[in-house]
Amino acid sequence: MDKETLIAGLIKDGYLKTPRVIEAFRAVDRKDFVPEADKNSAYENIPLLIGYSQTISQPLTVAFMLELLEPRGGEKILDIGSGSGWQMTLLAFLVKDEEIKTGKIVAIERIPELKKFAEENISRYPDLKPVVRLELGDGSFGFSDEAPFDKIIAAAAAEKIPTAWKEQLKIGGRIVAPVKDSIIVLDKISKEEFTPRQYFGFDFVPLIGA
């Protein structure tokens, strides 16, 4: 499968909807984020191994979660479990689109070798690299140095949404994260109140943390 066939399929199946997100999928090439051995499978709609028992997420899952997150130019977004860096770089593309002020992606990965892999991969996008701050650490605590965030997205499934994420989110902000085998969307409507939505039928690697 080639890139345009993958994108056309994601549009036809209703996973990709917003022109800007479709543009991001065209601009940030999944092939740049998969290991050498799997370059030929880069546009298959499946997760692929990136080492250390981790995967680059399935394109339909990334499309679905980005559409739920609704990233906008100028926003500051926390990306937990950056893995290959594909979603992190898609997010950088989506928040950079702003003439007045550019946004920022704060990304956290717990495996040093994958952090390095993501750094190498995003280097192919010199205009997007400065939009991202990539840190090694346990993302289950969020990243208080950079809080509050407009949005938070995670690629590894927790048992429940960590309290730190809720605290580090701006009022009016949104969390999109896997919990067990579902995707949860939380809209923060006041300091203590969240409106939840839940979508079933997905597979994620576990969030390993406190």
Residues in contact with ligand SAH by the rule CB under 6 A? 54-57, 80-84, 86-87, 108-111, 114, 138-140, 155-156, 205, 207-209
**Shortest Cβ 98–ligand SAH spacing (Å):** 23
Comparison of 9 and 47: residue with beta carbon closer to ligand SAH: 47
Calpha distance 3→149 (Å, rounded):
32
Catalytic residue among 41, 53, 57, 82: 57
Half-sphere exposure of 69 (CA within 13 A, CB side): 33
Length of the chain: 210
Comparison of 70 and 192: residue with beta carbon closer to ligand SAH: 70
Half-sphere exposure of 171 (CA within 13 A, CB side): 5
Answer whether 186's CB lies under 8 Å from 166's CB: yes
CA–CA distances in Å: residue 68 to residues 16, 35, 54, 167, 185: 10, 28, 23, 20, 8
DSSP string covering 159-180: SS--HHHHHTEEEEEEEEEEET
**Shortest Cβ 141–ligand SAH spacing (Å):** 8
**Shortest Cβ 177–ligand SAH spacing (Å):** 11
Comparison of 82 and 96: residue with beta carbon closer to ligand SAH: 82
Q: Which residues contact 12 (CB under 8 A, 6 or more apart)?
A: none
**Would you call 57 a catalytic residue per the annotation?**
yes
**Shortest Cβ 193–ligand SAH spacing (Å):** 26
**Shortest Cβ 197–ligand SAH spacing (Å):** 21
Calpha distance 148→151 (Å, rounded):
9
Comparison of 94 and 155: residue with beta carbon closer to ligand SAH: 155
Structure tokens at 19: 């022109």
Comparison of 105 and 186: residue with beta carbon closer to ligand SAH: 105
Structure tokens at 82: 């950056």
Residues with catalytic annotation? 57
